[in-house]
C-alpha cells in the first residue's frame, strides 16, 4: 500500500531498519516537500549532522551553498530544495573517514520518496554512491564523471563531495571551479527564479 507523502516522510523519520548496525543509533535526516524544484542527493549524514538533525549543517554545507550561490534561508526552504541523501542515518566512522551509506536505506525508501517529488527540475548528485543510483551512466571514476557534467541531461549535475577532505582534489582539478561551478550557479538561479515568479501565499511557499 502506498502511503500519502506526509505519512511516508513521518514513517521514514521513525525508521529503525538498520538500528543494530548504527554505532550512534538511528536518526534519519532529510528535508522533503512535494513542491521542491531542486533535489540534492548526498551520501549520508556526518556526526555533526547526526547531532543537530539538520542536513548539511557543517563545513561541507557551507561550501555546498557557496557552490550553488544561495543563502542558508533558501537552502533550508523545503518548498524549493529537497535534501535526500542515499542513507538517512549517520553510519559511523572507518579508517579513512565516514563509512558508506547503509545499504538497507535506499531500497526501503528511495523510490517511494522520489515518486512524491513531482516538480524536481534539477538534481545535484554528490559522490559515487549517489551517482551510481541516479546517473544513467558513469565514467571510470568520480573525477571523470564530474568532468563530463555537460554530457548528462540538463536536469542532472554530478558533483564531488564538498567536504574539506576534498581540498586536495579541488586544487588538482581547477576546471571544476572555472567551468562547472558557473554553469551550476546559472542553472540553480534559473530554477529558483521560476519558483520566485509564482505568487507566494504562505511564507516560503513557491
Mean pLDDT per 10-residue segment, the chain (206 residues): 88 96 95 98 94 95 98 98 97 87 96 97 97 96 97 95 95 97 97 74 43
Q: What is 5-195's CATH superfamily?
A: Uracil-DNA glycosylase-like domain (3.40.470.10)
Residue ranges covered by each domain of the chain? 5-195
pLDDT of residue 201: 42
pLDDT of residue 203: 44
**Cell 539538520 belongs to residue:** 54
Nearest to 12 by CA among 80, 125, 99, 104: 104
pLDDT of residue 205: 42
* CA distances (Å), origin 186, targets 57, 68, 151, 173: 24, 9, 17, 20
Distance of CA 6 to the CA centre of its chain: 19
Helix (H, G, I), strand (E, B) or coil at 156: strand
pLDDT of residue 195: 79
- Cα separation of 196 and 201, whole Å? 11
Is-contact 80 122, C-beta < 8 A? no
Neighbours of 2 (CB within 10 A): 9
User: pTM for the full model?
Assistant: 0.93
Q: Is 62 exposed, middle or buried (0-12, 13-18, 19+ CB in 10 A)?
A: middle
pLDDT of residue 198: 54
**Cell 571510470 belongs to residue:** 140
Is-contact 122 157, C-beta < 8 A? yes
pLDDT of residue 60: 95
Is-contact 97 165, C-beta < 8 A? yes
Q: What are the DSSP calls for 40-74, one per residue?
A: EE-S---HHHHHH--TT-SHHHHHHHHHHT--HHH
pLDDT of residue 194: 83
Amino acid at each position: 500500500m502506498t502511503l500519502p507523502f506526509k505519512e511516508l516522510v513521518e514513517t521514514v523519520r521513525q525508521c529503525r531498519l538498520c538500528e543494530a548496525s548504527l554505532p550512534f543509533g538511528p536518526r534519519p535526516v532529510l528535508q522533503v516537500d512535494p513542491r521542491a524544484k531542486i533535489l540534492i542527493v548526498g551520501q549520508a549524514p556526518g556526526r555533526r549532522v547526526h547531532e543537530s538533525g539538520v542536513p548539511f549543517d557543517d563545513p561541507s554545507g557551507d561550501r555546498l551553498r557557496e557552490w550553488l550561490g544561495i543563502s542558508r534561508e533558501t537552502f533550508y526552504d523545503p518548498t524549493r530544495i529537497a535534501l535526500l541523501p542515499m542513507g538517512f542515518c549517520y553510519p559511523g566512522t572507518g579508517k579513512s573517514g565516514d563509512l558508506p551509506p547503509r545499504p538497507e536505506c535506499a531500497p526501503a525508501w528511495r523510490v517511494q520518496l522520489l515518486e512524491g517529488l513531482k516538480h524536481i527540475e534539477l538534481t545535484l548528485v554528490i559522490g559515487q554512491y549517489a551517482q551510481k543510483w541516479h546517473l544513467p551512466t558513469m565514467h571510470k571514476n568520480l573525477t571523470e564523471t564530474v568532468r563530463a557534467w555537460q554530457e548528462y541531461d540538463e536536469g542532472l549535475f554530478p558533483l564531488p563531495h564538498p567536504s574539506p577532505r576534498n581540498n586536495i582534489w579541488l586544487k588538482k582539478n581547477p576546471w571544476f571551479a572555472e567551468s562547472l561551478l558557473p554553469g551550476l550557479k546559472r542553472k540553480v538561479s534559473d530554477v529558483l527564479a521560476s519558483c520566485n515568479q509564482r505568487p507566494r501565499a504562505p511564507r516560503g511557499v513557491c
